[in-house]
Amino acid sequence: MLNTQHKKIELSDTEIDELGNDHVSSCYNTPLREDAFVKTDEQKIDIISQHFKTIMETLGLDLTDDSLKGTPLRVAKMYVKEVFQGLNPANKPSISMFDNKYKYKEMLVEKNISFYTYCEHHFVPIMGKAHIAYLNNGQVIGLSKLNRIVEYFAKRPQVQERLTMQIGKELENVLGTSDVAVLIDAKHLCVASRGVKDDTSSTITSYYGGVFKEQEKRDEFLKYVDINTEF
Residues tagged active-site:
119-122, 160, 188, 190
DSSP string, the chain: -EE-SS-EE---HHHHHHHHHTT--S-SSPP--TTTTTS-HHHHHHHHHHHHHHHHHHTT--TTSTTTTTHHHHHHHIIIIIITGGGSGGGPPP--EEE-TT---S-EEEEEEEEEEEETTT--EEEEEEEEEE--SSEEE-HHHHHHHHHHHHSSEE-HHHHHHHHHHHHHHHHT-S-EEEEEEEEEHHHHSSTT---S--EEEEEE-GGGGSHHHHHHHHHHHHS----
